[in-house]
Structure 1
């Protein structure tokens, strides 16, 4: 049975950057504040079909709007964090590419000289990738990304162990059979990305991520990264109002 796009993308786990999410944007039914910040340290949820389904955040109080979607477990005790408890630094430079070992070629072609402030690539720039294998997965970060990690990790793990039974009971109605509950202790964040997977029996697959400008007709001039000429690949790209 052929692998789904999310299963192919999960192959990036071998790069040891955490659990890759084929659909990294948040559930649109979650509180708007959560949608804007995306997955964060302390989030508790389920990984399903290439996305992280948020349930509650263990580091925010039960009364915080972040925890208003589903509520919190019975007898909930939060693990408060301060800014010094989180390490944050730029981890990926603009134009970074993360790929499975099967990707054989990656080329960056710079476009014209019209630069939009805050964009590392000029309009018309593109990143072209090519694979000669039957399966491949790619993450392109046009604007780079930062990495956040929890510093008092062992203390937090002790907190999770202490309350894990209550958390699992709370999450049981959301979990698939024999499902696992995930607690976020680190994450990568960006404001734009391009994701692609390919599965083919006919040799080489080439795809290109291009910076284009949408909304010219209505005057918004909203820049977007879009995949072009992707053939047998399954693709996904965003320049959203929230972060990954």
Structure 2
């Protein structure tokens, strides 16, 4: 569901049972918490309400001050998806029929029959439609996070006892937008090649009275994982957008090749079949929805495990991104943050990116660049050609490019800006240095050069002809 470009798709849209019902209910702009692939958003506190508000009854970080809601610009769409909507990926992979049935007097009921036409697909059902809210002045949240991120991580770990997976950088999510509904169904489908999709039918039952709609899946199939839910109010969050904040767990020298060596991550973002980044067909990976699966072919419950090919097709490896403490949750911003940590290995312990960053890359891909995304190097080429990286004290974050790169220019530049006192505007030209990413022809050799205000660092070279030790890039090691 990443290609819906609404943000992060929740496999568990319902709010946590311990969260107090405040205001709109469910996920709210200003929430700070942790994303999990197999359970609801782990809410910690909200930065738009005072410390003594009911929503923050579990406590707030040290030195907490809130950002008043009245100072924020929030754009709301009451009927983003209309009544009786559903979303399918790949497009046209699943068709729908409506079948009426006998129900009790006073109730209106019917079934939706979903018939797959592909062997893989993902489905989001919205019987009563959905609404959205989006924070327009997101820079306010970003600047606030830059100042307080360290206190947030301390609070999460020491006050709330959250344990982040071993070997990864701790991650927090600050909500800047959501899509919510009152009733929903989600399904992830994989049909083995030996089974005809026409033999499979997913049935979704809907019962309505004047005030309430209930819905549920009523089919039995070993080829899908499905969930459903209903509430009186729009408290169920099917998508979220926000800032992903990571904290470098320890000072380590991250090589760019560790981030760009495999194709697994671009496949997850683009929903492509493993090893076919340039394929015209789409694939909905389990890690995108966080489901467990009953089917075979190398996909297992938790994590994302399958044989993979490096740039050199003769070097096959197996990637398993499960951790000892907790199964990892895939989010495209995690890739970007790991890259930011690698770009500035001696600074920027806090990295910040936004869902809009990877969504803009998908827009570029769908328009004219799908053919180019054959590896993660190409993914970051697209990132670097549309964004600058800004270093501000101990934080590195993405930002709109000061000097947009021309598509015909073989050099893609990344500008690093040192922190400046507030009120001084943009940096002067002599305060900006660039990172060059240069392609060297048929061998696919790339060279990354970093230049900071103090010195030039050694080049990080990726050689597609040499064997490369690959691992999930979000481990950041």
Report the TM-score when normalising by structure 1: 0.79
Deviation, structure 1 residue 199: 2.8
Alignment match, 2:180: 189
Q: Within the alignment, does 1:56 sit opposite 2:35 as a pair?
A: no
Alignment match, 2:203: 208
Q: Which of these residues, 1, 16, 21, is aligned with residue 27 of structure 1? A: 16
Alignment match, 1:160: 145
Q: 1:84 to 1:176 in 2, by over 3 A?
A: closer
8 Å CA contact 1:149–1:185 kept in 2: the answer is yes
Q: 1:200 to 1:34 in 2, by over 3 A?
A: farther
8 Å CA contact 1:206–1:230 kept in 2: the answer is no
Deviation, structure 1 residue 183: 0.4
Q: Could you list the runs of 5+ residues in structure 1 that have no partner in the other structure?
A: 1-11, 215-220
Alignment match, 1:170: 155
3-state DSSP of counterpart to 1:157:
helix
C-alpha distance in 1 between matches for 2:135 and 2:226: 31
C-alpha distance in 1 between matches for 2:57 and 2:119: 44
3-state DSSP of counterpart to 1:40:
coil
C-alpha distance in 2 between matches for 1:17 and 1:175: 28
CA RMSD of aligned residues (A): 3.0
Deviation, structure 1 residue 86: 1.3
Alignment match, 1:234: 225
Displacement over 4 Å in runs of 4+:
none
Report the TM-score when normalising by structure 2: 0.42
Q: 1:53 to 1:43 in 2, by over 3 A?
A: same
Q: Within the alignment, does 1:199 sit opposite 2:161 as a pair?
A: no
3-state DSSP of counterpart to 1:48:
coil
Q: Write the deviation string for residues 141-162 of structure 1: whole angstroms up to 9, x where unpaired.
A: 1011011001221122111211
Q: 1:113 to 1:91 in 2, by over 3 A?
A: farther
Deviation, structure 1 residue 82: 2.0
8 Å CA contact 2:112–2:203 kept in 1: the answer is yes
Counterparts of 1:1-244 in structure 2, within 5 Å, are 12-31=1-20, 33-34=21-22, 37-50=25-38, 51-69=40-58, 71-82=59-70, 85-89=73-77, 90-101=79-90, 104-109=93-98, 111=100, 123-172=108-157, 173-177=161-165, 178=168, 179-201=170-192, 202-204=195-197, 205-212=200-207, 223-232=213-222, 233-242=224-233, 243-244=235-236
Number of equivalent positions: 221
Q: 1:113 to 1:83 in 2, by over 3 A?
A: farther
Q: Could you list the runs of 5+ residues in structure 2 that have no partner in the other structure?
A: 237-477
Deviation, structure 1 residue 168: 1.6
Question: Larger RCO: Structure 1 or Structure 2 (Cα < 8 Å, ≥ 6 residues apart)?
Answer: 1
